[in-house]
Chains A and B, each alone.
Chain A
Amino acid sequence: MTIEVEVKNVTKIFGKQLAKAKKLVRENKSKEDILAQTGATVGVDRASFTIKQGEIFVIMGLSGSGKSTLIRMINQLIPATDGQILIDGQDLTKLNKQEMIALRRKKMSMVFQNFALFPNYTIIQNVAFGLEIKGKDKAQREARAHEALELVGLKGYDDQYPNQLSGGMQQRVGLARALASDTDILLMDEAFSALDPLNRKEMQDELLRIQSELHKTIIFISHDLNEALKLGDHIMIMRDGQVIQTGTPEEILTQPADDYVERFIEDVDRSRVLTAANVMIKPAMVNIEKSGPRTALREMRENNTSSIYVIDNQQRFIGMADARDVIELVRKQQKDLGQVLQKDVPTTNPDTPIKELMSEISTTPIPFAVLDEREHLLGIIVRGAVLGALAGDGVTE
């Protein structure tokens, strides 16, 4: 894979006394020390990394760690104080104004946290903005804008204004605007952070779908490890303007570079956030008052399981039957499942955090039954699904 963006020792210092601050940075003085001595704020401190063509590169870090500053140096909205940024082997920091404008038009587009749609423009005009700037004629740019809107799943809103759309829809427009200008690189600064969880998840899926078609190079800033793990081919973690670790999601999770990264990972410990309802799956079920062992057996075969959950006419959970016992019943020509019912199945309610169930889940071989207040069986929790959810491939739906 070819390298798309190469950042070498890039530093950004805000404020006066730049020369002195630069020298202090080179002497590895801390951000606070430099602020105290010169009044200058170090935004980014000698960051180096490479981004390959067609990957999603996620930048993470606490507030103030320099993520926004860094991404804005990649399109030179903020000029770098020091260092090199190479795109196609061209050093951006050396370009003059015209060359920079040309590069922005050709190479990159940006999606913003608060959408940054132009309130005086309709949706179609917003999406066509990049092309309008490039001087494409109206018919051409609107045709392209339509394609982009379709790609993000927004048709028929052409003539509405941004304030008529929900946040999720507005960000689709923001994404469409970036896609319509046909640039290789997408810069996304916390693009999904202002969305509610449902919309956010939907947009993440959408982005992955679009990415599988278009193979852009995406630089994505996120606060949220789950999002980073889900989207990122590589993840870079920053603190106080410095790059602390860059790696694949697995590397970040399994070999955190230091305490800071470790805290980052544990901070989003999913077992605390996920509840029984998030990880439960649908079990094979049979109504004892309507069906006998043969139906139960067929049900198990269809669901590929070795046990079945038994309910009564009021949908109440009454126990579980094992496949071997049921086969025995069938062989003996017995009709009553009740004979082989196991009643000591562990149960829980849907709102219990996984954290509280963890130790029991790992010791009991029988899956938990999730019951509501009326003892209706909602689902069961199997070990595999719990671990899967903790590793990020949500079983939520």
Chain B
Amino acid sequence: MDILIAKLPVADWINDFVKWLSGFTGFFNGVTNFIGAIANMFQWVFDLIPIWLFFVLILGLTFYVKRNDKKWGLLIFELLGLLFIWNMGYWRDMTQTLTLVLTSCLIVYVIGIPLGIWMAKTQWVNMVMQPVLDFMQTMPAFVYLIPAVAFFGIGTVPGVIASVIFAMPPTVRMTNLGIRQVPVDLIEAADSYGSTSWQKLFKVQLPLAQSTMMAGINQSLMLALSMVVIASMIGTLGLGTQVYFAVGRNDAGAGFTAGLSIVILAIILDRITQSLKK
């Protein structure tokens, strides 16, 4: 009966586990340095290029990805939106947020796509990963901040780590799904002509999974962006920090302009990656 009354010490176990993990300082320092280096590289580039060049690059990229459907409304939106962010004085915050998002997404894709492929090809990996992905996605994002701080301190790196965990599932899932959705007879055709697994993957499965995978890649990007405010609580700088400060100062106006800047950035990133799908 005791077990029904006494609280199971799950929290203690987790704490012990976290404490045990923090023993591996060497490993965590290595990861911190590595991710920090990637983030610094992005930030260095953003600080280096003049603002007008940034405008040109974004508009040029949009022009390139939209060259087929010829809807140029987005170009005008981007021009006005970026001017607004600049005018509000949030330019550097915006590039910091972009750094967080791009660093997280880079890691998400490098890990998530191979993982999705592995799940599609190996049944037991699929069975193991499904519940793990469910867990990663439904656990409130705040919770990831705690171990992230414990292992990686404060600043950009723990923000990236938390974002990576939170944003990973769609990329993995959609890669898995996209590959599984390739019609059986195309797989049979590839096999019957003597393809190796790699030939089948690169010549048939990935090209045909591409548009589904792009949907996952887009979702991951949006999830990473949605972490910016949360990550600002552990010292990740960016537009989120401005929102967070505004809340602290009860400054509705500043909160709104910073929030709106996040929305503008979200729409730009979303539309560009969605066009890549086609």
Residues of A whose CB lies within 8 Å of any CB of B are 72, 75, 77, 101-105, 108-110, 112-114, 116-120, 129-130, 132-134, 177, 181, 187
Contacts and interface: CB of A to CB of B under 8 A. Distances in A.
A77 B203 contact: no
Nearest to B189: A116
Contacts of A110: 188-189, 192-193
B193 A118 contact: no
Given A103-B194, A133-B199, 7 more contacts: A113-B185, A116-B183, A116-B188, A117-B189, A129-B193, A132-B203, A133-B195
Nearest to A108: B192
- Pairs of residues from A and B, 6 with the lowest C-beta to C-beta distance, nearest first: A105-B194, A104-B194, A116-B185, A110-B192, A116-B189, A130-B193
Interface in B173-215: 183, 185-186, 188-196, 199, 203-204, 207-208
17 contacts: A72-B188, A75-B192, A77-B192, A103-B194, A105-B194, A108-B192, A113-B185, A118-B186, A118-B189, A118-B203, A118-B204, A118-B208, A119-B208, A120-B208, A130-B193, A133-B194, A133-B199
Give the one of B188, B189, B191, B196 with max A CB within 10 A.
B189
B191 to A, nearest CB: 6
**Chain B interface: which size bin?**
10 to 19
B185 A114 contact: yes
Nearest to A102: B194
A96 B119 CA distance: 24
B193 A104 contact: yes
A108 B189 CA distance: 12
A101 B186 contact: no
Nearest to A129: B193
A112 B188 CA distance: 9
Contacts of A117: 189
Contacts of A181: 193
B208 A101 contact: no
Nearest to A103: B194
B194 A101 contact: yes
Nearest to B200: A133
Contacts of A129: 189, 193, 203
A301 to B, nearest CB: 58
A130 B183 CA distance: 19
Interface string B121-163: 0000000000000000000000000000000000000000000
B205 to A, nearest CB: 11
Contacts of A113: 185
A118 B210 CA distance: 14
Contacts of B186: 116, 118
A190 to B, nearest CB: 11
Nearest to B197: A97
Contact of A101 (B183, B196, B204): B196
Contacts of B199: 133
A94 to B, nearest CB: 18
B194 A77 contact: no
Contact of A109 (B190, B192, B195, B207): B192
A241 B168 CA distance: 47
A120 to B, nearest CB: 5
Contacts of A118: 186, 189, 203-204, 208
A112 B190 CA distance: 12
Contacts of A130: 193-194
A102 B193 CA distance: 9
Interface in B207-262: 207-208
Contacts of B196: 101
Nearest to B185: A116
A189 to B, nearest CB: 9
A211 to B, nearest CB: 20
Nearest to A112: B185
Contact of B207 (A108, A116, A120): A120
A77 B185 CA distance: 11
A112 B186 CA distance: 9
Contact of B193 (A72, A114, A120, A133): A133
